[in-house]
Amino acid sequence: MIDKSKPRQRNRKRLWLALAALAAVLVFLIVPPYLSVSRYRAGITRLLSASLGRPVRLSSVEVRLLPRPGFVLTDLTVEEDPAYGAEPVLHANTVTASIRLLSLWRGRVELDTISVDEASLNLVRTASGRWNLDSLLRTATSQAAGSSKPNNSVQLPYLKATNSRINIKSGAEKLPFSLLNADLSFWQQSPGDWRLRLRGQPARTDLSLQQADTGIVRLEASLRQAPLLRLMPVHIDLEWREAQLGQLTRLLLGNDAGWRGDLTGELHLDGTADAAQIKSRLRATGVHRAEFAPAAPLDFDANCTLVAHFSTRAIDNLLCDSPLGSGRIRLSGNLSGQDGLPRFSVELDRIPLAAGLDALRTVRSGLASGLQAAGSVSGKLSYDPAPEEKPSPASRAQIVRPHAPQQQLTGNLVVEGLQLSGDGLDQPIIVPKLLLQPAPPLANQPSGASPALTATVAIPFGGAAPLTLSTRLARSGYQLTVHGQASISQARELARMTGVGDGLDALAGDPVSMDLVAVGPWLLFQPLTQPLAQPPAQTLLPVAPADSLTGTVTLHNANWKPDYLANAVLISQATLHLDPGEFSWESVVFSYGPVKGTASITLPVACAAQQPCLPSFQLHFGVLDAAVLQAAFLGAHEKGTMLSTLLERLRPTAAPAWPRLQGTVKAESLIIGPVTLHNPAAAISTLADGASITAFDAVLLGGHVHGTCSYRTAVSAKDKPSYEFEGQFEKLSPPTLGQLLGLRSSGGVFDARGKIALSGFTAGDLAASAKGALHFEWQHGAIAAASAPPALARFDRWTADADIANGALTLQENQVKRGTRSTPVHASVIFADPPKVAFALPQQAPSKP
């Protein structure tokens, strides 16, 4: 019986356990929907506020029993400390807060974990350098210090955020930098020991970035309790991987600097804010500009160690070492927190000049991409600013004598085997040895200006005297001075290498004298490519001035032969002035065959957008003869000779074509056969298919002529060049005009206006193809000629319209008035040399039979 009762007892126990489990499940499933915790919302809010050290607001609270007891909070907002701003420090639509089960046995409710998803967190830094998380850490520190009193302390829960966004603010102003898809965890490992883990993708709110190319930031940190935050031991492991340089510059600078390559950075920190040991490593592979790739990849692997004193803003025992090309660079120094002045030394060991040129081309766009450099640089430079000596009271009464300032930068750099080639250089520029030494600031610089390295070298450049090059390298930029003589061919190569362009092309002759100064920064900063709706001041970068080349280039006894001129222009003297924004040739004394004159030409370097940017010229002549001018510039009058060849070159489909120019031409007088124009002036613009004279003024036949003219080239070999002229003649002298036409005339002023179109190569072609119209008015005149009709012997007013065709000008509607009587006149002017005037009797109607 006893043996049979034991199995029954075991079965009963199992049944009761099953019933208890079933009852617990029913309680978990049935009770929560009927359990209202709205009346406990205030208590939960106080609990969260005490745990986070911030005022907390929420909309509703729900109970969650599985998988572990807790609360589901809706629309959680954690208020900010008023010292850091008014915007909430944290906002999340849904928050899960689990409960510590052991706290229930003590009669209390403590939160174990607070989990948020897709939350928005604001990190605020004040102008004094304090962060809004400081108060949270102080709250956690005070709670840890009071952990011996469990009834009065609230333990910091485990904080976890996933798929969230972290914004960065400077005071009340939100910066465009943020972390997207951030996973953040913050918990207390043990009393007084906290851990922080962060992972996210850097982004900007004002630009569209390729998030996959900005890299991934990972942070592991631990903090231990201390009486003061600056004494709190900290360990930080920071890593930024898979960052593409193009997107990284857009992220940091606001625009793509044109750099390409991959970058990985690491930082390890151990210590406190008073003394932190930092180790960092920065690795870059495949660094180059977007528009070119160097022959050898520009890679570097820089390792640095230092001791940072954040409270005093000082750095001790800085040591950085990195290979560069086949050489090595080493940097060591300190930054004192008292005077804030750095003290450092740089050692270069056989650094290839090619690597330095590639590095400069990487940070600067458009810098002589075809230039190649050979050689190496070695040496050591030390910078140690001397502290200012305060005069003692006894020395103040004495006369203070000026003394030479102490040298802050010491040492030197030796460049050996420098050779520049490529980029249009027919012969390489070779400098066997160059010594760079420290130099004091210039006279126009303040006393506190950064020191510089200077070097001077003389290079034979094809002139009677060598070309002296002096360079000055400072922290902000460079200055290069060129003085001496150079052959035109080598000066042309130097001009192309420095970006002057074709200012010396098509020139030959004696060596030129050069006096030039080139100044520019190492880096060119640009503003944001896309303006912000409310751009913060921290995102706008200063715009550094661009490179500038100033000075003069003087030449004598040179000749200029461009492709679009039949003969060379002989230049006895000319001076090229290089100024910021434009280049100009001044005092150009030239001759083109028998034609002699002076000229000035202005070549703009850069123009505003959507504005014409054409070179302008001014030509001045003495006495010009049209026949001599035509012979010099156009050659013979017959088709197929120099004239037709030159006109063929003006076609836009043929090469070479005339360049686009605009300017003015003036002369003391212009002789056109029997006619002399005094003080002629014309505004000329060359076109793709010809030229246009937009304004022409001259003194003609005792009066003035004002007009416009255009020229168009022949489209095909069968076509001929065409001309159009439209002008006004004012107050011409009738006696002078009559003398031109072989007539004796007198009277008042002669006014006319007309338009004519011609085409052809020779004078005969032009006269035969002339078509147009002319209208003139002659007041109180007279013509004394045997063939002239009686009405022209003396008249009060003669108005006439004439047609130009068939090699002649023929009068059409015209009236010769004398008193109240009006008489028409029939006449024509035949285009010849000289012109001929023919009068015809008026046709009479036949008489009736």
pLDDT band with cut points at 50, 70 and 90 for residue 490: confident
Q: Radius of gyration (Cα) for the chain, nearest Å? A: 45
Neighbours of 129 (CB within 10 A): 9
Q: Are residues 198 and 339 in the same domain?
A: no
Residue 779 counted as domain residue: no
Per-residue tokens: 40:
């406990």
Q: Are residues 243 and 171 in the same domain?
A: no
Neighbours of 750 (CB within 10 A): 24
Phi, psi of 96 (to 5 degrees): -110, 125
Q: Are residues 276 and 169 in the same domain?
A: no
Query: For the chain, what is the domain count?
Result: 3
pLDDT band with cut points at 50, 70 and 90 for residue 8: low
Q: DSSP letter for 150, please.
A: T
pLDDT at site 844: 46
pLDDT band with cut points at 50, 70 and 90 for residue 682: very high
pLDDT band with cut points at 50, 70 and 90 for residue 213: confident
Query: How distant is the alpha carbon of residue 535 from its chain centre?
Result: 19
HSE of 635 in the Cβ direction (CA atoms, 13 Å)? 14
Q: Are residues 377 and 263 in the same domain?
A: yes
Cis upstream peptide for 157 (omega within 30°): no
| DSSP sequence for 235-280 | EEEEEEEEEEHHHHHHHHHSS--SEEEEEEEEEEEEE-SSSEEEEE
Residue 281 counted as domain residue: yes
Q: DSSP letter for 560, please.
A: E
Q: Please, what is the end-to-end C-alpha distance for the chain in angstroms? A: 178
What's the rounded mean pLDDT across residues 399-403? 44
Alpha-carbon distance values, 432 to 155, 349, 415, 455, 471 (Å):
73, 18, 8, 13, 16
- pLDDT tens for 708-750 read 988 887 655 566 778 899 999 999 989 988 888 888 888 888 9
- What is the chain's mean pLDDT, rounded? 78
Contact 477, 503 (CB under 8 A): no
Query: How distant is the alpha carbon of residue 758 from its chain centre?
Result: 49
Per-residue tokens: 736:
């002078």
Q: Of 613, 639, 671, which closes a domain?
A: 613
Q: Are residues 309 and 195 in the same domain?
A: no
**Higher confidence at residue 118 or residue 448?**
118
Q: Are residues 598 and 510 in the same domain?
A: yes
pLDDT at site 296: 66
| DSSP sequence for 511-553 | PEEEEEEEEEES------SS--SS--GGGPPP-----EEEEEE
The residue range of the domain holding 491 is 450-528+541-613
Q: Are residues 258 and 197 in the same domain?
A: no
Residue 39 and residue 88: Cα distance in Å, rounded? 25
Give the pairing type, strands 158-170 and 120-125.
parallel
Residue 641 counted as domain residue: no
Highest mean pLDDT (candidates 79-88, 600-609, 650-659, 692-701): 692-701
Residue whose pair of structure tokens reads 């160059």 in the numeric block: 434
Residue 560 and residue 588: Cα distance in Å, rounded? 12
What are the residues facing 752 on neighbouring strands?
729, 776
What are the residues facing 681 on neighbouring strands?
666, 697
Q: Which of 334, 326, 285 shows the shortest CA–CA distance to 305? A: 334
Q: Is the pLDDT of residue 218 over 90?
A: yes
Give the pairing type, strands 158-170 and 111-117.
parallel
Cis upstream peptide for 432 (omega within 30°): no
pLDDT at site 148: 44
Q: Are residues 250 and 143 in the same domain?
A: no
Residue 247 and residue 211: Cα distance in Å, rounded? 8
Residue 684 counted as domain residue: no
Residue 464 counted as domain residue: yes
Residue 97 counted as domain residue: yes
Q: Are residues 426 and 464 in the same domain?
A: no
Contact 230, 240 (CB under 8 A): no
Residue 632 DSSP SS3: helix
Q: Are residues 152 and 263 in the same domain?
A: no
Per-residue tokens: 221:
């940190």
Residue 631 counted as domain residue: no
Residue 462 and residue 488: Cα distance in Å, rounded? 8
Per-residue tokens: 435:
């010594």
- pLDDT tens for 585-595 read 898 999 888 88
Contact 155, 188 (CB under 8 A): yes
**Higher confidence at residue 388 or residue 485?**
485
Contact 596, 573 (CB under 8 A): no
> Helix/strand/coil (H, E, C) string of 431-453?
EEEEEEEEECCCCCCCCCCCCEE
Residue 124 counted as domain residue: yes
Contact 597, 590 (CB under 8 A): yes
Residues ≥6 apart with Cβ < 8 Å to 786 = none
What's the rounded mean pLDDT across residues 185-213? 82
Residue 628 DSSP SS3: helix
Q: Are residues 454 and 348 in the same domain?
A: no
Per-residue tokens: 229:
């935050």
pLDDT band with cut points at 50, 70 and 90 for residue 110: low
pTM across the whole model: 0.65
426-430, 431-435, 793-797, 804-808: least confident range = 426-430
Residue 635 and residue 642: Cα distance in Å, rounded? 5
Per-residue tokens: 551:
């000075």
Amino acid at 336: S
Q: Of 174, 206, 238, which closes a domain?
A: 206
Residue 278 and residue 236: Cα distance in Å, rounded? 9
Q: DSSP letter for 68, please.
A: S
Residue 242 and residue 246: Cα distance in Å, rounded? 12
Query: How distant is the alpha carbon of residue 214 from its chain centre?
Result: 23
| DSSP sequence for 662-703 | EEEEEEEEEEETTEEEEEEEEEEEEETTEEEEEEEEEEETTE
Q: Are residues 106 and 158 in the same domain?
A: yes
